[in-house]
Every structure is written in C-alpha cells, then in structure tokens.
C-alpha cells in the first residue's frame, strides 16, 4: 500500500479550518477515491491559541511557515495564508525548492509571481496547483487544463467576485444606492480588509489573469488587465439598463486576437435573459468558449469555507492519485509573453450622461458620435434631473471600438453641453 500523503497546512483561517475538517471527517472517503491515505502532519498560523472550531491537538505546530514547508514529515504544502509576497511566497518557494508539491488558494501570489513559481516547480519536479484560487468551488482550472485541453479557447468571461455581484444585485433588488449596498456587504463581512480589492476589481482581475494564461498558453500578465471597479455604477444605471433588457455585472473577459491578448475586468451589460444576466447574490459564473466544445457555463459558490476547501482538496487528491500537471496547463518554458492589447473587439456600448437642458444639446452629442464613426442604436431622454438645468440621456450604440468611443467622448467634453463625465459600459454578447 502507498505511504500516506502528509500535508503541512500554512494558514488556518476560514479555508484552512475547512480543509482540516474535511481531512478529519472524510478520511475513508478521501482514501477510497484517491487510493492513498491523506493525513495532516503539521500546521502553521499567526495565532496558536485562537479557537478555530476544529481540534489541532494531533498536529505539530510551526510558528514559521517556511519551517513548516521544510519539515521532513511534510510531503505537500497547503498554502492558505494569502498575500502576494511575504510568508506565503517564502513558504511556497521553500517547498518547491525542496521538490515538494504545493496546493494554494492564493490568486495574488500567482498573479504576480506565477511564471517564476511555475518555472521553479518544474525545475525540481514539483507540482503547483491552484484550483481554489479562482471562483471558489467551481472547478474551472480543471475544466481548462483537462476537460477542454483539446480545444482552442476563443473566449473566457465571467463574474468572479461574489461581493461585487452581491452589491449590484442588492442595488437592483432593493433599490439601494451603491453606498448603501456597500455598507450592507461590509456589515455582513463580505468585503476584504482592503475593500478596493473587491469593488475595485483587483481580486477578480487576479483570477482573470490566471485563466488567461491557461486558456491561451501565455505568461501571467496581471499588470495588463484593464481594471475598472463598480464604484461609478449608480442605481439609475441599473434601472435604465434593466429598462433596456440588460443587467450590469463586474465582468471579466479575455480573448487572444491578432493584435494581442485582451484582458478586461470592468462593469459591463449582459442580456438579462442570459446565464450571466440571471446570476444572483454572491454566486460566481465562468463561461468558456472553445472551437470544438462551443460554449459551456460553470456556476457555483465563489468563496466560503466549504466550497474553497473542497477545491483545495480536489487538488490534493489529484496529487495523491499521482496526477502530475504543469501549473498553467503547459510547460512553463512554452508559455509565451503575449503582446497586451486594449479590448479592441467591437461591441455595443451603453452611455449615460447629464445633458444640458437646452435646444441643440442632443444634436451636438449625436454629431460628436457620428464624427468618431459611432452610430446610435437606441436613445432615451428622461425628464429633468435633480439639477433643473440638466436631463439624463441614455444611448446604446451599435458595435464600435473603445478607441472610437473614447474619441467621441473627448469631443463631447468640448461641446459644453455634457455635465460631468459620462458613464460608458461595454455590452457583452453572451
């Protein structure tokens, strides 16, 4: 019989405690399905005395996660500390240098250092897996690296931050302002310690950059992701988008074009009747399109103790079975440094602006759009806004490039009839 697979768990927060529970409560199931006994040898966290709702009495304790990674009785490091640098990076590097496999839920670490860590893993024959780093319990990494490995992926898109989706759906469902929905999410403990990681799109951008690498065989390029958070989305935008048959989502989209790799994480409109349009609350969804498989939709819990710990253990069990895969689905040496491209694929856009309530104002806006080559599909002008001298105007364009739209917006700013900065959101076909 095979020797047990001995885990060292670094980080005992919500997910770490969840992993311990699975190993303790499902030992027979794990052994039956993986063909090997899975045990915990040692653990590490910042606070040894904290009550985590699970017994740690049978495990050795290490204050230093690097020391944990180097222990002779640890075959596999489970890194659940978080953070792009510091102890998480040091412990992961220590394990890989020693030829030990690593399973992590740390998207920031991989988004910033994924290529170097993949190269290190391959140089020592170790495996680095990260299913739990993207979309919680949804097995999207496994889908891309295994189930869809024979496809040329044409587009990956999805809602990858449950907190943002919760805020946007609460705004719509309860008629809340952004500030009110944000405060509610904060009160429920949904936001990161630095809320900008969530509402600024950074957390979701990390995940998108990892999916791009696997989907298109490129080196991770988080710095090239076009990021825009949800802070400018108003209840008016949500209501008016709904009036036009759309819902607003913080949507990640990546595709490889002739001009380069497009990666964007920004508020976008999707058809209300589409799978993405029907997504509620804190749930995540990833849509993958391949040349042979067509479109597939993966939906599930994007965070939380159970779903994320489940994803961690899926990777652990693969390693216990002897499955050895390259970190990003192809050898690190084969990953190319893709040319980054602004999202140039033409699409319709939603525009909302406060227009001066005087004759000829709308004609000037239409002229600015026309001169930039942007044609209007639908236009609605509402009654006066709270400031008596302006009126809200909503425009949906025909397909155009972002460059053409930016040119039109710059020309509008010179007309003197547009108050403030217009809101411009891409409409993504699903």
What b/e sequence results for 15-32 when a residue is b if at least 16 CB atoms lie within 10 Å of its CB, and e otherwise? bbbbbbbbbeeeeeebbe
Question: Contact 333/165 with Cβ under 8 angstroms?
Answer: no
- d(C-alpha 196, C-alpha 178), whole Å: 14
- d(C-alpha 243, C-alpha 224), whole Å: 34
The number of helices, as runs of H, and strands, as runs of E, in the chain is 14, 16
249 among known catalytic residues? no
Helix (H) or strand (E) holding 124: helix 107-124
Question: Contact 68/45 with Cβ under 8 angstroms?
Answer: no
Catalytic residue among 100, 207, 249, 364: 207
Choose among 124, 104, 100: nearest CA to 114: 104
Question: Contact 233/170 with Cβ under 8 angstroms?
Answer: no
Q: How far is CA 390 from the centre of its chain?
A: 37
Choose among 370, 38, 63, 302: nearest CA to 166: 302
- d(C-alpha 41, C-alpha 3), whole Å: 13
Instruction: State the alpha helices, DSSP H only, in 148-253.
Output: 162-174, 178-187, 196-199, 202-216, 235-243
Residues of the chain by 3-state class (helix, strand, coil), percent to 5: 40, 25, 35
DSSP reduced 3-state for 9: strand
- Does residue 409 come out as left (phi exceeding 0), alpha (psi in the -120 to 50 range) or beta? alpha
Rg (CA), the chain: 24
Find the distance separating the first CA and the last CA of the chain, reported in whole Å. 49
Cross-strand bridge partners of residue 103: 78, 129
- d(C-alpha 88, C-alpha 106), whole Å: 8
Annotated catalytic residues are 207
């Amino acid at each position: 019989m095979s020797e047990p697979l001995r885990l060292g768990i670094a980080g005992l927060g919500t997910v770490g405690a969840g992993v311990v529970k699975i190993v303790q409560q499902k030992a027979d199931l794990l052994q039956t399905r993986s063909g090997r006994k899975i045990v915990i040898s040692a653990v590490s966290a910042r606070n040894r005395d904290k009550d985590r709702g699970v017994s740690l009495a049978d495990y050795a304790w290490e204050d230093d996660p690097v020391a944990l990674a180097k222990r002779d009785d640890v075959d596999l490091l489970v890194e659940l500390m978080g953070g792009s640098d510091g102890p998480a990076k040091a412990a992961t590097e220590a394990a890989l240098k020693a030829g030990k496999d690593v399973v992590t839920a740390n998207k920031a670490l991989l988004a910033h250092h994924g290529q170097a860590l993949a190269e290190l893993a391959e140089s020592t024959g170790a495996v680095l897996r990260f299913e739990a780093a993207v979309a919680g319990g949804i097995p999207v990494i496994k889908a891309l690296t295994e189930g869809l490995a024979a496809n040329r992926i044409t587009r990956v898109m999805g809602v990858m931050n449950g907190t943002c989706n919760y805020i946007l759906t609460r705004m719509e469902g309860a008629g809340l302002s952004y500030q009110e929905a944000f405060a509610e999410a904060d009160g429920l403990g949904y936001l990161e310690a630095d809320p900008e990681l969530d509402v600024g799109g950074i957390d979701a951008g990390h995940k998108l950059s990892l999916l791009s690498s696997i989907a298109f065989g490129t080196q991770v390029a988080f710095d090239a992701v076009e990021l825009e958070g949800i802070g400018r989305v108003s209840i008016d935008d949500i209501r008016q988008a709904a009036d036009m048959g759309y819902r607003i989502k913080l949507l990640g989209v990546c595709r490889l074009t002739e001009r380069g790799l497009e990666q964007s994480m920004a508020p976008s409109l999707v058809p209300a009747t589409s799978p993405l349009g029907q997504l509620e609350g804190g749930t995540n969804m990833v849509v993958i399109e391949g040349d042979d498989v067509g479109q597939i939709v993966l939906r599930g819990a994007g965070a939380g103790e159970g779903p994320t710990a489940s994803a961690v253990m899926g990777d652990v069990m693969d390693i216990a079975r002897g499955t050895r895969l390259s970190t990003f689905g192809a050898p690190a040496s084969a990953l190319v440094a893709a040319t980054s491209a602004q999202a140039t694929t033409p699409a319709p856009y939603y525009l909302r602006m406060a227009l001066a309530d005087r004759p000829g104002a709308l004609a000037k806006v239409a002229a600015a759009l026309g001169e930039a080559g942007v044609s209007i599909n639908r236009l609605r002008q509402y009654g006066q806004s709270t400031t008596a001298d302006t009126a809200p105007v909503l425009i949906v364009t025909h397909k155009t490039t972002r460059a053409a739209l930016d040119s039109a917006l710059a020309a509008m700013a010179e007309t003197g009839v547009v108050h403030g900065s217009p809101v411009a959101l891409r409409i993504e076909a699903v």
